[in-house]
Amino acid sequence: MRPPAESIGNLAVIVGAIALLIFVAVEGALVYVVWRYRASRTTTPALFEGHTRLEIAWTAIPALTLVVVFALMLGTLGEIGAALEPGMRVRAVGHQWWWEFTYGDVVTANEMHIPVGTAVEVDLLSADVNHSFWVPELGGKIDMIPGQTNHVRLLARRAGVYEGQCAEFCGVEHAWMRIRVVAEPADEFARWLAAQAAPAAAAATDGERVFMANTCVSCHAIRGTPATGRAGPDLTHVGARATIGAGVLPQGVADLREWLADPQRYKPGSLMPRVPLSGADLDAVAAYLAALR
Amino acid sequence: MTAVPLWVLRPGGSRAAGWLRTVDHKEIGVLYIGMGAAFFILGGLESLVIRAQLATPEAHLVDPELYDQLFTVHGVTMILLAVVPLLVGFANYLVPLMIGAPDVAYPRLNALSFWLSLVGGIVLYFSWIAGGAPDAGWFSYPPLAGRSFAPSPGVDYYILGLAVNGAGTIIGAINLTATILLMRAPGLRVSRLPLFVWMVLVTSILILGAYPALSAALVMLFVDRQLGGHFFDPTASGQPLLWQHLFWFFGHPEVYIMILPVMGMVSEIIPVFSAKPIFGYRFVAASSVAIAFLSFGVWAHHMFAVGLSAFETFFFAASSMLIAVPTGVKIFNWIATMVGGRIRLATPMLFAIGFIAMFIIGGLTGVSLAVVPLDLETTDTYFVVAHLHYVLFGGTMLGFFAGVYYWFPKMTGRLLSERLGRWHFWTTFVGLNVTFLPMHWVGIQGMARRMWTYAADTGWGPWNFVESLGAALLAVSMLVFAANLVRSIRAGAIAGDDPWDGFTLEWATTSPPPPENFRSLPAVTGRRPLWDAKHPDRRDAA
């Protein structure tokens, strides 16, 4: 199995080489002709005004080149479409301006984990407007369009973090709609999925009490607690994710506190409002969320 | 022959009243060019704010709401309110002169089309002070452009402005088509038409085919937003993709509407400055017809990522590649025209050569976007932003500047300064490459279009900074151009009737031409009537 990004990369090299060749030939001809026939070198201009066989040649040769490019394209499309037997399915839903990833019953957000070497079929949906799911190093982008389900197949050959970005303009915070795909060995992935499947450990801290007593719960879910909101990202294991706000801030108690104190400062236009909490409450909620691992 | 300011030629009334009621094609042409120039300045200023915001990562110079309005209005402005009026203005001014006619077929209708186009632009810009400019991108995809997600009136101003502007453009296209078909001088057969006129004819027919699709889509969006319709509403069985099909059925021919007239300009300029007839006249003309025909069958290459069927994907990939063939034919013919010529590198020719050089880049990246797997990586990224600016700035604008330097003497009686012209050319040429070349790279690396900012850890900062420096250089180049225009209109060298040793009929009359255009016309027996009149010993074959 060859990862789609590799097939695309190979095609890009071939098509790029053909384009570069044409570029050098045509620009070279242009520059040479301008230099060769400049007024200071020529006295009487020639008067020919056409040559049918030449016209046929420079119609036919580009057309044949494009037939070759088209054939190469078909080959690559076949490779991407047929060669991958999906070993796993993930549902991805685009929201203004974050990503929801569902593995069976497990719901998480903004950070998608996949096992290395397994083709993953991603079902792409939208909860509101058009989005586009794109992780450049894993393959081409496919749009998420409300009312239909699209599909893309991902395959990572190497473990690591692959950065992506919403690619279809989707409103004010289109920019801060980043994707992190973490590709890890199968056993690590299995551990991650098992950990994600577990409900949040009971904390009984001040932070939890403040969270449950405020409007946080109307938008966010934390499995194992009374918080069941669906409008915003699921926070059951938010502390295990590497970033906050779909990539706007790094994870950590200090950054979580900054974010909670004023989300609009970091992600203006975000649908998360500024919840008026005291300094002590902010500290407590930040500590509570960071501990949800 | 002295330079006569345009307003001297008009009988009676104040200058302003004269401009308001004129039905003279040359004055309407100048009005169109003035409108295009004014909106070009506005669109340019918008782009400078965009480049300032993106010069550094995570900047807060503008907030995302303003940023979205800026790029939306920048796109709409440059395409529909700057480039199209500039080109229609030149067509208006030049077509009757080049075909030896006293005016266009319907002079009053001509005035109506200009004023509708202008009012459409004003309606769009009125949104800035009436609750916010449109902010859903120039192609305003629903549901984002629907009322639920764009509740401010910006998109409504977009709909009304574009509908009114489009009506003006459609009426103008009918007028130019009728003029070219019905008002040619005796002997000026269609097979002898100057290539600029050919391209205007093809462009007009494209407008007649493409703009109504936009008008219909705009009405449907208006019904959705204001009358509770559901054409594009997925929550009520509407189909968001229908908008994309309708919009790009207009949007892709629109690209050719913006490039074909410029190809026509270049096809006039290169032969004159090579002192040779165009190479392969019939092929240059026929390739335009082929482009026009094919351009109605390529629209879904803007939509490869929406989940098309395999058949649709193959069809639109093939047709989009095919359209490169007639485009290439033109480039080869222009180069062949120069072979064996005596090339004068005056400013119009410099810009024409620059046009070819840059358009090749835009054309090649365009073919790569027809290769579906590559498109899926590059579409909706800065790679596409780079591609479209190589076509529309490197192509359309460089070719347009060639036309300005070439015909300014005919319109004003004075030549533009060659010295400033060279400064203008080289600052533009360097500026556009510094601005747009790095965008290919950041696009491939993952920078999507229309992001109001980007994270510092992406590493795109340095490239974006370079792009913004290029934009500043482009601003300087436009100031040089403006200085050249202002200085030359007052004190440029007197041009005379025929400063470039031209081939076509517009050079057979005074500069500027009298209201009736011609006092006498040379006999037309070939494609270069003025050349034949000047060189009776070396006439073209009839």
Q: What is the CATH number of the domain that holds A24?
A: 1.10.287.90
Burial letters B188-224, b for 16+ CB under 10 A, else e: beeebbbbbbbbbbbbbbbbebbbebbbebbebbbeb
**Nearest chain A CA: its distance from B62 CA (Å):** 11
ipTM of the complex: 0.96
Burial letters B157-168, b for 16+ CB under 10 A, else e: bbbbbbbbbbbb
**Nearest chain B CA: its distance from A198 CA (Å):** 32
Q: For residue B314, report the phi and psi dihedrals to the nearest 5 degrees.
A: -65, -45
Check CB contact of A133 with chain B, cutoff 8 Å.
Answer: no
CB–CB of B283 and A29 under 8 A?
Answer: no
Helix, strand or coil, per DSSP, at residue B236: helix
Per-residue DSSP letter, B79: I
Enumerate the β-bridge partners of residue A92: A101, A124
Residue that finishes a domain, picked among A82, A101, A121: A82
Within this chain, do residues A226 and A280 fall inside the same structural domain, yes or no?
A: yes
Within this chain, do residues A72 and A92 fall inside the same structural domain, yes or no?
A: no
CA B169/CA B160 separation, integer angstroms: 14
Residue that finishes a domain, picked among A148, A183, A218: A183
How many domains does the structure of chain A reveal?
A: 3
In a domain, B305, yes or no: yes
CB–CB of B373 and A80 under 8 A?
Answer: yes
Within this chain, do residues A227 and A273 fall inside the same structural domain, yes or no?
A: yes
**Residues ≥6 apart with Cβ < 8 Å to A111:** A101, A180, A181, A182, A241, A242, A243
Q: What is the CATH number of the domain that holds A238?
A: 2.60.40.420
Q: What is the CATH number of the domain that holds B215?
A: 1.20.210.10
In a domain, A192, yes or no: no
In a domain, A45, yes or no: yes
Check CB contact of A63 with chain B, cutoff 8 Å.
Answer: yes
Within this chain, do residues A216 and A250 fall inside the same structural domain, yes or no?
A: yes
CB nearest to A143's CB, from B68, B280, B306: B306
In a domain, B16, yes or no: no
Are the CB atoms for A136 and B445 separated by under 8 Å? yes
How many domains does the structure of chain B reveal?
A: 1
Within this chain, do residues A212 and A282 fall inside the same structural domain, yes or no?
A: yes
Interface of A with B in 235-254 (CB under 8 A): 247-248
Are the CB atoms for A130 and B240 separated by under 8 Å? yes
Tell me which of B302, B343, B351, B368 to substitute to probe the interface with A (most A C-beta atoms closer than 10 Å). Answer: B343
CA B75/CA A289 separation, integer angstroms: 43
Structure tokens at B25: 């094609």
Within this chain, do residues A154 and A230 fall inside the same structural domain, yes or no?
A: no
Q: Is the pTM of this model over 0.90?
A: yes
In a domain, A188, yes or no: no
CB–CB of A142 and B444 under 8 A?
Answer: no
In a domain, A142, yes or no: yes
CB nearest to A15's CB, from B318, B371, B379: B371
Structure tokens at A124: 């792409």
Within this chain, do residues A146 and A212 fall inside the same structural domain, yes or no?
A: no
Are the CB atoms for B140 and B69 separated by under 8 Å? no
- What residue numbers bound the domain in which A149 lies? 88-183
Within this chain, do residues A24 and A72 fall inside the same structural domain, yes or no?
A: yes
- What residue numbers bound the domain in which B207 lies? 27-534
Question: Which contacts (CB < 8 Å, 24+ apart) does range B231-236 have?
Answer: B232/B142, B232/B143, B232/B146, B233/B142, B233/B143, B233/B146, B234/A145, B234/A146, B234/A147, B234/B143, B235/A146
Within this chain, do residues A74 and A140 fall inside the same structural domain, yes or no?
A: no
Q: How many residues comprise chain A?
A: 293
Q: Chain B residue with minimal CA distance to A75?
A: B373
Residues in chain A with CB shorter than 8 Å from the CB of B149 are 96, 128-129, 171
Within this chain, do residues A110 and A62 fall inside the same structural domain, yes or no?
A: no
CA B278/CA A48 separation, integer angstroms: 9
CA atoms within 13 A on the CB side of B432: 29
**Does the CA dihedral B382-B388-B394-B397 come out positive or negative?**
negative
Q: What is the pLDDT along chain B (542 residues), one digit of tens a residue?
A: 445 555 445 555 677 788 999 999 999 999 999 999 999 999 999 999 999 999 999 999 999 999 999 999 999 999 999 999 999 999 999 999 999 999 999 999 999 999 999 999 999 999 999 989 999 999 999 999 999 999 999 999 999 999 999 999 999 999 999 999 999 999 999 999 999 999 999 999 999 999 999 999 999 999 999 999 999 999 999 999 999 999 999 999 999 999 999 999 999 999 999 999 999 999 999 999 999 999 999 999 999 999 999 999 999 999 999 999 999 999 999 999 999 999 999 999 999 999 999 999 999 999 999 999 999 999 999 999 999 999 999 999 999 999 999 999 999 999 999 999 999 999 999 999 999 999 999 999 999 999 999 999 999 999 999 999 999 999 999 999 999 999 999 999 999 999 999 999 999 999 999 999 999 998 999 999 999 999 887 777 65
Residue that finishes a domain, picked among A51, A82, A113: A82
In a domain, A198, yes or no: no
CA B197/CA B181 separation, integer angstroms: 10
In a domain, B22, yes or no: no
**Does the CA dihedral A205-A210-A212-A213 come out positive or negative?**
positive
Within this chain, do residues A92 and A163 fall inside the same structural domain, yes or no?
A: yes
Tell me which of A36, A72, A73 to substitute to probe the interface with B (most B C-beta atoms closer than 10 Å). Answer: A73
Q: Which of B397, B400, B406, B394 is nearest to B357 (CA)?
A: B394
In a domain, B18, yes or no: no
In a domain, B412, yes or no: yes
In a domain, B9, yes or no: no
CB–CB of A175 and B454 under 8 A?
Answer: yes
In a domain, B14, yes or no: no
In a domain, A272, yes or no: yes
Q: For residue B400, report the phi and psi dihedrals to the nearest 5 degrees.
A: -65, -40
